[in-house]
Structure 1
Amino acid sequence: MEATRLLARAASSPPQLHVVVFPWLAFGHMIPFLNLSKQLANRGHAVTFISTPRNAARLGAILPELLAHLRVVSLDLPAIDGLPEGAESTADVPPEKVELLKKKFDGLAAPFASFISEVCTATGFSTKPDWIIHDCRAGCGRSPRSTRKRMQNYDSFDVIPCAMFSTFPASVWAFLGPKKENLAYPRTTTKDYMVKPPWIPFPSNIAYRRLHEAEWIATAFKVNATGVSSMDRYWDSERPCRLMICRSCPEVEPCLFPLLTKLFAKPVVPAGLLMSPDAIKDDVVAYTRSDPSFTLAMEWLDKQLEKSVIYVALGSEAPLTTKNVCELALGLEISGVHFLWVLRAPSYDGVRHRIGTLLPDGYEPRIIDRGRVCTGWVPQLHLLGHHAIGGFLTHCGWGSTIESFQFGHPLVMLPLILDQGLIAQAMAARGICVEVARNYSDGSFHRDDIAAAVRRVMVEEEGKTLAHNAKELRDILADNKRQERPKTELAATAAASSSSPLHIVVFPWLAFGHMIPFLELSKQLAKRGHFITFISTPRNIFRLDAIPPELSVNLRFVSLDLPAVDGLPEDAESTADIPPDKHGHLKKAFDGLAVSFAGIIADACANAENREAFINTVGFLRKPDWIIPCAVFFIIPAAIVTFVGPKQANLAHPRTTTEDFMVAPPWIPFPSTLAFRRHEAEWIAAAFRPNESGMSDADRLQEMERPCCRLIVYRSCPEAEPHLFPLLTKLFSKPAVPAGLLLPTDHIVNDDKDQSFASAMKWLDEQPKKSVIYVALGSEAPIAADNVRELALGLELADVRFIWALRPPISGSQNSITILPNGFMSRTGKRGLVCTGWVPQVRVLAHVAVGGFLTHCGWGSTVESFGFGHPLVMLPFVVDQGLIAQAMAARGIGVEVARNYDDGSFRRDDVAAAVRRVMVDDEGKVMARKAKELHGVLGDMARQERYLDEFVAYLQCYK
């Protein structure tokens, strides 16, 4: 995607970030943190990776090409009673000693603070950090707070933002929840952890199923040997952070990222799975360091048939008992399946047992023809990529699960602790694995259950389905562009979030179809901590929704009085107040706001500490070349801007007749339906001629080519309008930035305005599911009385339930009811409803009874329809509506009402036919399915949130 490429370039251009990375002392944490560090260094950022001397040595050398950007700094761990000398990671201690290691890790607060203070005053590579990325486990949760206390004398440290990077999946964060939710819904018994938490609002299997799993998570909420609970560490770590970063992506964990962002009231950013090809190369290099037993095992593996061997590995720190090892061994033997088992001896009471004493008597001679047991370190990625491996018996640690994704192996799952039970459930729901049957209370398992699970995956027919599903998931997650994008977004989000908040002045055109999306964009920016000044006229501000209390600190309205203009009615402040033939007068009055707008900008600049970074204007006003960078925000689709084109292209290829607008312009280099029909072409041709304001609408649009306009922003996205963003960037020689669709998220509620609509909602509640078509042609469509009558009679002929939001033609004196055909209301009263007042459109579209939408295809209404996946009956009139209708028809999600394309007229029979095609005929089922599919793509709120984050990053980069 061109926008992502440009964002990557902008995010990687000087000045670069300096990021300090500080993981918990477990290799399951240090390795993903190091992979993240390498990815950031690959993008030109400076990264300081902090650990202890022994861990740094065991992580291996930094690649030569990254040495200029990535360095490892060692801090000495303090001594503590009860821990063996040289113990610097969880791999060095038994599970019962891990809490002491956390306590030891807390002792790094002082040296870490000293290091940060030195870096803040140094030069070169050690310039002051822009970010500190720390862990969500163990002492990391305490270190930032205690470190800040020690750093009170260093002003620079106080402004270094922190981010928390979790090596756990997003589902664990959702299950644990923020502190406020846990206080509101306290979990006091083990069984409380065996149900989905109440803050997850959708159906989900995110809960622990067995008592032993629930007992483990319950202990995380209790104070341990360090004097604080693991959950308090987690919340202490999360609270001061500006970002939360997760080693995951929406393709693996759908629905969770928007929820987490809402729960924790800060961006929760997917870093992707951090599946790097270099890791496989490193694994192969490390193969040369493996022990002799593995060399022999590889010679054996090379001789096995393709996909015939199951790889068995339960991690380096799994709390296995000797009985667990024995039952697993005998289960593998009973299964009759070839296997390669990487076995690390369990430890308890501080003693690590010898492998030979754990396996059943005579075990290795009995399985020598079809199995091998390796007791030393092995290159897991190298093994998983071997042609002979066809399945993976795993503890479902997140790191191992992610590694399995790269090769598409079906899984046999034996979760033990931590997040492993939740991961196992998620993978089972995806149909890529089976879980070993267990004892509900204590988690014990029997050899027969091991054998049965292994055979289901490796021998039985079910295994073929699991393998097919696993390969499909591999193909999705192996998309390099898809995996690279979260890393680029992370760098961009970090760059934007580490900068000071922006002050953005927002000035929309005086139409509610513009003001409402501008206000929604303003709210989204305010939610991200930026300061927004929203400018309009007094009456328009009064008619807009009030600012939510939680945003009132960051978002304010400023009123400017509209000057009087001859021909414009008194109190007319928006297009909703006047007929279409008066719009030119309103544009002239709008131009008259330039002087008062300039006064606001001058006052703001005079009061700003940093003039250049203070204000970014996002507007439609005809403006001079401000010294403040400007951006234009289009609420129309990218297609119409592409069709209008830049001034230079229009001069090179002049369009002088109506017919010139009925073909795709020559600057569109690929096959396209971007062309108007005759009655539509006459409208667009008029837009190139001066109106009452003294200039044409096309000239106004092309004002964005001024040097002060650095960005062009669209209420759209590449999924809605493929191919256009790279072309627009090229045509206008400045970034074309998708802000996303700004889909409605919090408007489907009852409020005071809905009371006038209460009787209509009651009627709608009584209708069968998907039986009603909602009819609305916008508040400003140029509909003639004849249009209304033909539409009414067409709805009557269709014999379909309908609810019609009818606004009378602005130019006429008739009210909505008198222009309807005689007797219409009585004839259709049992199956139709006509609403002449205010209608909560989003709420209606969300109603279960609504199954289709008859629309004028205004972009705002079309975008709202995307949120609910309704098929469309399309009746476009002016502006961009014809282009939108053609694009939606091409996607197969709707049909247009047939009409006379010379004058745009339509007949009742054509309305009825189109309505029945969508609501009654079999064709409608196909359109409904495609509309749902499109809803699945465009309704992905995590994706839409990322577009907004990218937009903010652009504002920061181009200010």
Structure 2
Amino acid sequence: MAMESCTMTKKLEVHFILIPLMSAGHVLPIVDLAKLLGRRNNVKVTIMTTPVNAVRVGANIDREIQCCGSSISVQPFRFPSVEAGLPEGCESSEAVPCPDLMYNFAKATTMLQKPVEEALEKIVIPTIPTCFILDKNLPFLFDVAKKFKVPIIISDALNCFSLLCNHNLFHSKVYENVSESESFVVPGLPHRIVFKKYQLQEYFSMNVGEFNVLREKVWQNEGEAFGVLVNSFQELEEEYVKEFTRLTGHKVYCVGPLSLVNKEHKDKAQRGKLDSKEEEEEGEYLRWLDSWPATSVIFANLGSLTFVPPGQVMEIILGLEASKRPFIWVLIMRDAHKRKELNKLLKEDGVEERVKGRGLIIRGWVPQILILSHTAIGAFLTHCGWNSTLEGITSGVPLITFPLTAEQFYNEKVAVQLLETGVRVGVEKAMHFEVEDKSGIQVRREKVKEAIEKVMGEEDEESKRIRERAGNYREKANKAMEKGGSSYLNLSLMIEDIKQHFRRRVEDDDSKSEP
């Protein structure tokens, strides 16, 4: 780590308060952002989150402070789990034990205003807050931030392609006049993008109390924001950055890929780690990867939030087995009943024993960016959450796309259609929380094997082109984050814009106080 990036001065001119949604896909990039901001001169950062999440990010932040002397602190606030009908200590979306309780989690986020106000009062601030960076999905906190009369920059775990799709869908209402399975074109995009209604983000398909309230508040706040922070880089989706900026009039700051702030092995290994015992397991994974040739291993991880039916999980594992290639399969089954059902299916089939040595099945968290950066990884079978998609792109690894919910079908379009660095497995219908059992098995093992061959076939010319394009985007991503790169400059611009806004406010206040 360059000493220049860690040089600090005593004067703190700008104080960013960062409040992410209580979900790993939102918390982790905000921690990465805090580290980037904290390495800039005259910048102070406070991350506000729940006690459980504060512990989760604590080691990473402590290491950053020790290494760079950055002015970063973590301020916890109480999460109303019990009041919302959640188990005690359930403070993140990953901790929600079953799909039905996701509505309770949404309800809890609408009850955060008082706990956050109480936590803000405890913060010892050498300078008053000069900017709030608020997660778009915590719309009821905007009223808290407005009391300070400072700029609010909204963040979300989305790219500009998804933001523009949602903007145009919301204003055109084109999805309202089609059936669930009917294809339609999203209007006003630089490319011809076709979706089916049941592939859209939940905003456009769910009609449930708390989600409806949240949706309306989100759209209301979006128009009032000072700017939008995006974990992407301009070279990845330049046309969509320009069009989203033009249509909304927002200042759009593409400052990613944020995960690239983690350069050292320890930083990559600690990112998102919950338990110190995982360090021994991490060493085992890396030693196992070291035993395989370059670009020979498939890494499969469908994320920590989704509830995939056990039968579909079996088809994926059997497809990996049929590929005859080495693989790591991260198996997270959150519902206890379905976990028991899956374990029964695995035992009856005997697949774990058959793939022993060639297949590594991991039940629980893994250091994903550390694994993806290993030279043995040749393909990434992913649910297409934006963090995972971007981490795959950043690592130069071709993607095998298996979208499940949220905006994941949008990200599949980015990887497969726009960048041409991925191949679809063939999922057609989203598995939203309230309908996941109805989705059943959508993709059989033959399709999984076929998709693997399309990105890893040594003799296939299109496979070679996919791998070459993936490598090119890895280079572009790294250049964007270097000093003088597009994301580096955008972060500088955001800091300067906030400084200028704050100075104008001080000048206005001074002029009003003059007799």
TM range (shorter): 0.7 to 0.9
TM-score computed with the length of structure 2 as normaliser: 0.81
1:526 corresponds, among 38, 52, 70, to 38
Q: Which amino acid aligns with 2:360?
A: L
Q: Structure 1: how far apart are the matches of 2:304 and 2:353?
A: 25
Q: Using the alignment, how far apart are the partners of 2:202 and 2:178 within structure 1?
A: 9
1:857 maps to 384
The amino acid that maps onto 2:421 is I
Contact 1:725 1:737 in 2 (8 A): no
Q: 1:711 aligns with which of 210, 227, 247?
A: 227
CA contact (8 A) 2:425 2:448 kept: yes
Counterpart contact for 1:801–1:831, Cα < 8 Å: yes
8 Å contact from structure 2 (residues 79, 115) kept in 1: no
- Following superposition, the deviation at residue 955 of structure 1 comes to 2.5
Instruction: Specify every segment of 5 or more residues in structure 2 that has no aligned partner in the other structure, as ranges.
Output: 271-275, 431-438, 503-515
Of the candidates 140, 150, 159, which is equivalent to residue 628 of structure 1?
Answer: 150
User: 1:96-127: per-residue Cα shift (whole Å, max 9, x none)?
Assistant: xxxxxxxxxxxxxxxxxxxxxxxxxxxxxxxx
> Which residue pairs with 1:793 in the alignment?
318
CA contact (8 A) 1:852 1:873 kept: yes
Counterparts of 1:570 and 1:773 in 2: how far apart (Å)? 38
Q: Residues 800 and 916 of structure 1 are in contact (CA less than 8 Å); yes or no, is this contact kept in structure 2?
A: no
CA contact (8 A) 1:895 1:914 kept: yes
Deviation at 1:913, TM superposition (A): 0.6
Are the counterparts in 2 of residues 784 and 809 from structure 1 also a CA contact under 8 Å? no
The residue type paired with residue 799 of structure 1 is K
Which residue of 2 is the match for residue 535 of structure 1?
48
Task: Determine whether 1:946 maps to 2:489.
Answer: yes
- Say whether residues 1:837 and 2:350 are aligned partners: no
Q: Name the counterpart of 1:727.
A: 243
Structure 1 CA distance for aligned equivalents of residues 11 and 173 of structure 2: 44
Partner of 1:671: 191
**Structure 1 residues 498 and 730, CA gap change in structure 2 (3 angstroms):** farther
- Tell me, in whole angstroms, the C-alpha distance in 2 between the residues paired with 1:855 and 1:657: 31
What does residue 848 of structure 1 align with?
375
The CA deviation at 1:858 is 0.9
In structure 1, distance between residues paired with 2:39 and 2:228: 22
Choose which of 506, 513, 518 in structure 1 pairs with 2:25: 513
- 5 Å matches for 1:586-605? 586-601=105-120
Whether the 8 Å contact between 2:386 and 2:411 is mirrored in structure 1 is yes
The 8 Å contact of residues 788 and 819 in structure 1, kept in 2 or not, is answered as no
2:470 maps to 931
The CA distance in 1 between the partners of 2:159 and 2:217, in whole Å, is 16
Query: 2:165 matched to 1:643?
Result: yes
Equivalent residue of 1:717, what SS? Answer: coil
The CA distance in 2 between the partners of 1:864 and 1:682, in whole Å, is: 21
User: In structure 1, what is the Cα distance between the partners aligned to 2:295 and 2:189?
Assistant: 41
Distance in structure 2 (CA, Å) of the matches to 1:658 and 1:511 = 32
The reply on whether 1:691 has 2:203 as its aligned counterpart is no
**2:86 is the counterpart of 1:568:** yes
Length, aligned pairs only? 459
Q: 1:828/1:266 Cα in 2 relative to 1: closer, same or farther (>3 Å)? A: closer
Matched, 1:502 2:502: no
- Name the CA distance, whole Å, in 2 between partners of 1:702 and 1:746: 36
Q: Which amino acid aligns with 1:567?
A: G
Amino acid at match of 2:26: H
1:774 is aligned to 2:299:
yes
Alignment of 1:889-908 (within 5 A): 889-890=416-417, 891-901=419-429, 903=439, 905-908=442-445
Contact 2:174/2:186, CA 8 A, preserved across alignment: no
Matched-pair identity in %: 23
Name the CA distance, whole Å, in 2 between partners of 1:595 and 1:746: 38
Larger helix share, 1 or 2: 2
- Equivalent position SS for 2:227: strand
Instruction: Judge conservation of contact 2:77–2:119 (CA < 8 Å) in 1.
Output: no
The verdict on how the C-alpha distance between 1:266 and 1:672 changes in structure 2, with shifts beyond 3 A counting, is farther
Retained in 2: the 8 A contact 1:506–1:619? yes
* Alpha-carbon distance, 1:505 to partner: 0.9
SS of 2:133's equivalent in the other structure is strand
TM-superposed deviation, 1:790: 0.6
Is 1:806 paired with 2:331? yes
> Are the structure 2 counterparts of residues 860 and 897 from structure 1 closer, same or farther at C-alpha, using a change threshold of 3 Å?
same
Match of 1:945, SS state, is helix
Instruction: Report the alpha carbon displacement of residue 681 of structure 1 after superposing the two structures with TM.
Output: 3.4
In the TM superposition, what whole-angstrom CA distance separates every residue of 1:626-671 from its partner, at most 9, and x where no partner exists?
322211012211222212217xx845646424549953443x2533
Letter in 1 for 2:72: L
TM-score by length of 1: 0.45
Residues 264 and 562 (structure 1 numbering): CA distance in 2 closer, same or farther, change over 3 Å? Answer: closer
Sort the Cα spacing of 1:700 and 1:790 in 2 relative to 1 into closer, same or farther, 3 A. Answer: farther
One-letter code of the match for 1:931?
A: A
CA distance 1:525–1:724, shift in 2 (3 Å): same
Q: Which has the larger radius of gyration?
A: 1
Give the SS at the match of 2:465. Answer: helix
Secondary structure in structure 1 of the residue aligned to 2:213? coil
**1:470 maps to what in 2?**
none
Q: 1: distance between equivalents of 2:179 and 2:112?
A: 37
| RMSD (Å), alpha carbons | 2.9
The 1-side partners of 2:201 and 2:385 are apart by 18
- Per-residue displacement from partner, 1:814-866 (whole Å, max 9, x unpaired)? 25644436210111113111111321111111112111111111110111112
Contact 2:175 2:197 in 1 (8 A): no
